[in-house]
Structure 1
Amino acid sequence: MMIDLHTLASPTLKSTSEVHYLQSNDWEISLKGYNGFQDTQLLDFEGEVIFINFWGTWCGPCVSEMPSLQKLYKAKGKEMKFAFIAMQDKPEKINSFIRKTGYTMPIYEVNAKFSSEIHPKAYPTTYILNRKGEMVLFERGAADWNAPDVHHLLEKLIAE
């Protein structure tokens, strides 16, 4: 089932008094780069504002939110780090998806097992982290990531 992008709501940007930090082993995610991006580790992004999206080419809601993610990446990709992590996919499916869509965002695949604390329980799952490694947003499910409130949140985090 495909979800129409026009029906996607903005992510829930609710404030929380509970601050979640990534623990040292949460940062230990080895990533294989696609779409012209080099292999890296999430640890290389530490100290930056980071947008992490776990998705799959097989996941209808994941694919439905991709146009808004591409727009967000195009607008903010030079100011912060993005990692679109394909899960439970084969390299040929990922490459085919990239060729078919023409997306330019940094797509990765996990190279090894990683912490169950950050491992998604459903797809898509998105995390936004500030420069201190605090998780300021956690969203499970498809959303319109190019919404004005998302841009406002990211601009605030980038300025900190």
Structure 2
Amino acid sequence: MINLLFIAALIIILFFPPAKALLIRGGMHIGLFQPEVTEQKVPDGPVAEDIILEVQDGKAFHLSDLKGKIVFMNFWATWCPPCIAEMPSINSLRKEFKGKVVFIMVDIDNDLGKSVEFMRDRNYDLQVYRTTSSVKGNLASKVIPSSFIINQHGQIVFHHKGAADYSNTKLTTFLNKLLLSN
């Protein structure tokens, strides 16, 4: 009987994305899935490739238009359990740095209607974008979720592949240092 319950739980976790996301989120609460933040006095990294982003109303802009601002960019999808699991921590991070850091949530499926509904249903205060140009170079990743922090000079100073708990104090300290270096 215990084996059957174990197999049933395993099947649910494998084939029901919200259950898998809940399991990953539980791992985040016990300290797993922490983003690796390097301690640098003056972050330096490759310049982010320029891409064109569009919001639901059709307004488009270039990523390079945000030079002079700190950008947190996350590539994600509504069907991705690790993406779903990390979303509450990204939303908390946005609340903490609202008006100081630009948050760009890039829907890799390019279905903004579905993504906007996802954010609204969960009461997340995160703007969803899609790319209208190809993503190549140092922003291209075969892993989702993938998150980047781009400094005021357009340099990638943080990159994390896979789910992460972005309410991590090391990351908030890192962002605060970037803000002070402006």
Scaled to the shorter chain, the TM-score interval is: 0.7 to 0.9
Q: Which structure has the larger Rg?
A: 2
Q: Higher helix fraction: Structure 1 or Structure 2?
A: 2
Over residues 97-125 of structure 1, what are the superposed CA-to-partner deviations in whole Å (9 max), with x where a residue is unaligned?
12311211121111222324312210000
Identity of aligned residues (%): 26
- DSSP 3-state at the match of 1:20: coil
Aligned to 2:179: 158
The one-letter amino acid of 2:79's match is W
Ranges in structure 2 where 5+ consecutive residues have no aligned partner: 1-19
CA deviation after TM superposition for structure 1 residue 19, in Å: 4.6
Contact 2:76/2:105, CA 8 A, preserved across alignment: yes
Q: Give the CA RMSD over aligned residues.
A: 2.2
Moved beyond 4 Å, runs of 4+: none
Match of 2:45 among 9, 20, 25: 20
The one-letter amino acid of 1:136's match is V
Higher relative contact order (CA 8 A, sep 6+): 1
- Give the TM-score normalised by structure 1: 0.85
CA deviation after TM superposition for structure 1 residue 37, in Å: 9.8
Ranges in structure 1 where 5+ consecutive residues have no aligned partner: none
Distance 1:102 1:116, change over 3 A: same
Mean Cα displacement is larger for which, 126-135 or 56-65?
A: 126-135
Aligned to 2:82: 61
CA deviation after TM superposition for structure 1 residue 68, in Å: 0.3
Number of aligned residues? 155
- Give the TM-score normalised by structure 2: 0.76
